[in-house]
Chains A and B, each alone.
Chain A
């Protein structure tokens, strides 16, 4: 078992920490589907590389994918106005469907067969290689340090936008920086773990944290705990029952969220009834 599950477990221990933190930002900003939209933009870039007959492992392909991620970041930072009639989520949804449809169009003009491309865009956590884990760990650590150093402004822009504007921050540029870094993290994680898993790691632990705690630090700690528990439990279940690993982790997260919500509800009820008793 260890021989097969060792590197998936290492990946699920080392990598999701940053995703959980970014997830808190994303949930607070109410832009839940931005990860899928960003990943789809990057894969559109790769489809273009396929059409141009470039080497998919080469630097040019990486540069094109990065270019599309930057374009996505620019779109989302420009459209995230302070007060707009159109919700940001609508722009994100539109970007996703257009990028996905454009990829279909590009591939229909590309050379035959798309197994390799699909395989390259959407990874499988079961099959991560040590090199993939260390590359991403390095990138995620760098991003984590950047977020830690600039945490005041990043947090202000996500959690108190009015405050950020009042302080005279250039909110749009901060948004752009946030989205670029976010796009890099999400795209590189999708390539080893798939879309379902990246979405779950961003959103579920953050929602669990928000469900039971108020302070950001506490939410983050709870989120990390949930991410660790869900990831490792999901991998074990996937091994014991021989299930596709990514989907097993996602469903474990679903079950954990229900459990946490019931717990929060029960705590809330009990707190309420204690209050009632006190007042009598």
Chain B
């Protein structure tokens, strides 16, 4: 009898601990990857957008609504990067646990000082990204802050595993701190160099590593390149001897190739998201790849 009740207790305990596993949904693969670093096997992480998909436009599938409905935690960018597709999904999922302001909602941008905040937030100044440039996770120091935020939220929602989450954060922090030395050293000789990008996704990365990525193939974010704008970019590349043009998987590579072929600059494939380039299944590997690719092109 005693034995049975012991087994029974064990089963209940198992069931409870299985149930206690936090269901985490991340809108984008970058915060999803950070959530995995912190949560390890104590959480289930579902990422909505694919790493090779344009984060501004993501096609909703039924499983997105199901995941959001069952989520204990939602991690989104919080700076309107997903404004085109997340609000209708949330409206449909109707999950009070992940509403803004609830402990289950982590907005990565919280506490991040955003770059390029338009001075004047009327529609004339641009209705989207009015909060500033939302592509901030590629700065490792910001990524640390987001990871810490995630660790705090997980600990609050799942106090039994708080030590585990905090420990994972400490590990991640130590890795990033060590890596920052390495990355900084690799980029040191290119300080102050200009780099061209297809879309304005890299101000935080550029700021961290002391380069400027401030010339874009798009005349305005989201507007396809026009001939006169491309001619201007080509002239700038020639005048400043710019060596690299950054494109992401969802951009039209041919436009970058065209500019490259008439200037001698190299096209460098970049991704904001772990998994967007071969061999980048974690955040650290992604930044490793970005730094080594850019360094190779700028040499």
Contacts and interface: CB of A to CB of B under 8 A. Distances in A.
Majority secondary structure, A binding face? helix
A186 to B, nearest CB: 21
Nearest to B89: A127
A218 interface: no
B13 interface: no
A119 B84 contact: yes
A244 B91 contact: no
Contacts of A275: none
A115 B88 contact: no
Contacts of B88: 119, 124, 127, 129
Interface in A1-51: 3-5, 7, 50
Contacts of B224: 104, 108
Contact of B61 (A5, A7, A242): A242
B86 to A, nearest CB: 10
A194 to B, nearest CB: 10
Contact of B128 (A112, A238, A242, A243): A112
Contacts of A238: 61-62
B126 A127 contact: no
B222 A114 contact: yes
A248 to B, nearest CB: 9
A127 B90 CA distance: 9
A118 B220 CA distance: 16
Interface in B48-77: 56-57, 59-63, 65-66, 69
Contacts of B222: 112-115
Contact of A111 (B63, B69, B123): B123
A124 B60 contact: yes
Given A4-B62, A116-B84, A108 B219 contact: yes
Contacts of B19: none
Contacts of B128: 112-116
B102 to A, nearest CB: 20
Interface residues of A, number: 27
A151 interface: no
A113 B61 contact: no
B21 interface: no
B123 A129 contact: no
A126 to B, nearest CB: 6
B126 A113 contact: yes
B178 interface: no
B113 to A, nearest CB: 20
Interface in A243-280: 243-245
A111 B91 contact: no
Given A115-B56, A244-B60, A126 B126 contact: no
A242 B129 CA distance: 30
B223 interface: yes
B61 A108 contact: no
B60 to A, nearest CB: 5
Contacts of B83: 115-116
A126 B224 CA distance: 29
A81 B27 CA distance: 53
A164 interface: no
Contact of B221 (A113, A127, A242): A113
A3 B68 CA distance: 12
A239 interface: yes
B226 interface: yes
Contacts of B59: 124, 244
Given A112-B221, A115-B83, A127 B62 contact: no
Among A53, A119, A127, the one with the most B-chain Cβ atoms within 10 Å of its Cβ is A127
Interface string B68-104: 0100000000000001110011011000000000000
Nearest to B218: A112
Nearest to A8: B62
Interface in B158-179: none
Contact of A112 (B92, B220, B226): B220
Interface in B115-138: 122-129
Given A116-B128, A127-B91, A108 B85 contact: no
A118 B219 contact: no
A53 B62 contact: no
A4 B66 contact: yes
B123 A53 contact: yes
Given A4-B69, A127-B92, 15 more contacts: A4-B66, A107-B223, A108-B223, A113-B127, A114-B222, A115-B85, A116-B83, A118-B57, A118-B84, A119-B88, A124-B59, A126-B62, A126-B65, A239-B62, A242-B63
Interface of A: 3-5, 7, 50, 53, 104, 107-108, 111-116, 118-119, 124, 126-127, 129, 238-239, 242-245
7 contacts: A3-B69, A108-B224, A111-B125, A111-B127, A112-B129, A127-B91, A245-B61
Give me the 5 closest cross-chain CB pairs, A-B, nearest first: A113-B128, A115-B84, A112-B126, A111-B126, A127-B88
